[in-house]
Structure 1
Amino acid sequence: MFDWLASPEGWAALLTLSAMEIVLGIDNVVFISVLVAKLPAEQAERARRLGLGMALVFRVGLLFALTAIMKLTYPVLTILGEELSWRDIILIVGGLFLLYKAVHEIHGEVSGDAHEDARAAAPRAFLAAVAQIAVIDLVFSIDSIVTAIGMADDLSIMIIAVMIAVAVMYLASGVVARFIAENPTTKVLALSFLMLIGVSLVAEGGGFHLPRGYIYSAMAFAAVVEAINVWSRRNGKKREATQMDENGSQSGPPA
């Protein structure tokens, strides 16, 4: 099972697949970060751990069901001349769910209802977040494992690559979630990313492949611009605070 350890090709396959799984995990990280950002700190950490734990369980479990997973790529129905497999249907449903969730959350941010709902029903918000993370974990896991099967033949390579990717996702999700929680304006940007990801999933399920490289490049560019804006706002607040202190010290105590 581990004969590939003595093979350069095996290590190359592991590194390539790990990189691919990490890239595919970006979608998962963004979704989890957005959902946990509106939860209290303790619940947010629990939800994040549960979500990533489920991501790992789903992925490894699906790897041990390779035969069933491969059957998901067989056409099961035809709509408007386009053959759809179970994988296509799952991607379309998952993409539509992401679109609905992103639009609903953006509407809540604009109207202010999201913050009121979070304060009014914290326990239900936690359960709802975990349930939604589980659904999207399953969608992304199927997409991830189908990709893994196409890139490697050894089950142990695929399992190790998935574990590496989930470990990176765990480290990254904490940073992303904290950044979104500390900078509320970035939440709308993250929700816009989810809309973009939802569109790509629906398109891929319908047989139209959108290169992920273009999508992630656009996301990275927008994230860098937003990071510069956040940095600029923080520096502006520091300058204002410094000027106020200087003005206060110059005026001196009243006579």
Structure 2
Amino acid sequence: MELLSNPNAWIALLTLTFLEIILGIDNIVFLSIVSGKLKAEEQPKARRIGLLLAMVFRIILLFGITWVMSLKDSFFDFDWSIVSGGISGQSLIVFGGGLFLLYKSVSEIHHKLEGEEEGNSGKSSNTLVSAIIQIALLNIVFSFDSILTAVGLVSAAEPPIGFGATGALEIMIAAIIISIVIMLIFAGPVSKFVNEHPTIQILGLSFLILIGVMLLAEGSHLASIKFFGENEVHSIPKGYLYFAIFFSLFVEFLNLKMKKNTKPVKLHNNTILDEKLKDEDFMN
């Protein structure tokens, strides 16, 4: 009751919920693109499982926050003539996630633009198990980065909301649950919109490349990588990245509104678009 009557707690809850939703945009984009390659009846299930996995991973990491923070300690230091630093568990997870995201995004762009058409066979180009494995792997990285960001935010807050204060853990868990529920509600319409518009798909994959680069920079920063002993790698502020994403989407929404009667380009392995075009051809 003391926590519920504290206005600072409600401000922290709203702030963290908004932060989790913003940080979850990349998760929804990845979910939309991966689930878009499944059969139509399997796509909602993949989205639900993906978002629930994100919630579970985040809550588990919060309960194991002491272990998460201990991964900040370096276990391998090196000082070569060109580069120096100290590799930690956090830096490995974040850097590895960035590499995986870059590889997956570039592969998807290549496959959608250059890959062989599989939609005519009536088979999905992906399986539900394969999609869930990919989603789970990336969820671990997204959850790790999200928790580090959330902990950094509450640690910088004034008491009694600072990390370690009474109610801080409960507020973060509540924010995670609320944000996942909101994303579950909107994941379907967002996925449908993304998969129906090829330019949005390519933009989304381009955003994932940006986020992958951001994770590489953040992983290098966590490892205190320096070149020539003084040029340290700095992390990329998330605000700049997400501003670029939202501005690009705003411009594309204007383009879509101006050219709403134009028939979109057909990308490879787009289950939703394949079905929509088949329905239109049948009606014609």
TM-score (norm 1): 0.85
Q: Which AA in structure 2 matches 1:95?
A: G
Describe the superposition over 1:228-254 as per-residue Cα deviations: whole angstroms up to 9, x where unpaired. 2222222457xxxxxxxxxxxxxxxxx
Instruction: Find the structure with the greater CA-based Rg.
Output: 1
User: Which residue of structure 2 lines up, in the alignment, with residue 197 of structure 1?
Assistant: 211
User: Which residue of structure 1 lines up, in the alignment, with residue 251 of structure 2?
Assistant: 225
**Quick one: distance in 1 between partners of 2:124 and 2:92?**
33
C-alpha distance 169-76 of structure 1, shift in aligned 2 (>3 A) = farther
Greater helix share, 1 or 2? 1
2:175 is the counterpart of 1:173: no
Q: Which AA in structure 2 matches 1:196?
A: L
Choose the corresponding residue for 1:146, options 125, 134, 148: 148
Describe the superposition over 1:73-120 as per-residue Cα deviations: whole angstroms up to 9, x where unpaired. 22222353122321111111101101001111111111133x428958
Residue 171 of structure 1 and its aligned partner are, at CA, apart by 2.7
Is the 1:38–1:181 contact (alpha carbons within 8 Å) kept by the matching residues of 2? Answer: no
2:238 is the counterpart of 1:215: no
**Quick one: distance in 2 between partners of 1:94 and 1:155?**
25
Choose the corresponding residue for 1:125, options 127, 135, 148: 127
Unaligned runs of 5+ in 1: 238-255
User: Which residue of structure 2 lines up, in the alignment, with residue 241 of structure 1?
Assistant: none
**Quick one: distance in 1 between partners of 2:41 and 2:145?**
31
2:114 is the counterpart of 1:88: no
Residue 41 of structure 1 aligns to a residue in which SS?
coil
Residue 72 of structure 2 aligns to a residue in which SS?
coil
**Quick one: distance in 2 between partners of 1:118 and 1:95?**
34
Give aligned pairs, total: 235
**Quick one: distance in 2 between partners of 1:158 and 1:128?**
31
CA RMSD of aligned residues (A): 2.1
User: Which residue of structure 2 lines up, in the alignment, with residue 187 of structure 1?
Assistant: 201
Q: Which AA in structure 2 matches 1:60?
A: I
**Quick one: distance in 1 between partners of 2:143 and 2:262?**
42
Residue 124 of structure 1 and its aligned partner are, at CA, apart by 4.8
**Quick one: distance in 1 between partners of 2:129 and 2:209?**
23
Residue 47 of structure 1 and its aligned partner are, at CA, apart by 0.5
Unaligned runs of 5+ in 2: 155-162, 222-233, 264-284
C-alpha distance 138-118 of structure 1, shift in aligned 2 (>3 A) = farther
Residue 187 of structure 1 and its aligned partner are, at CA, apart by 1.1
Is the 1:39–1:118 contact (alpha carbons within 8 Å) kept by the matching residues of 2? Answer: no
Residue 123 of structure 1 and its aligned partner are, at CA, apart by 7.9
Residue 168 of structure 1 and its aligned partner are, at CA, apart by 2.4
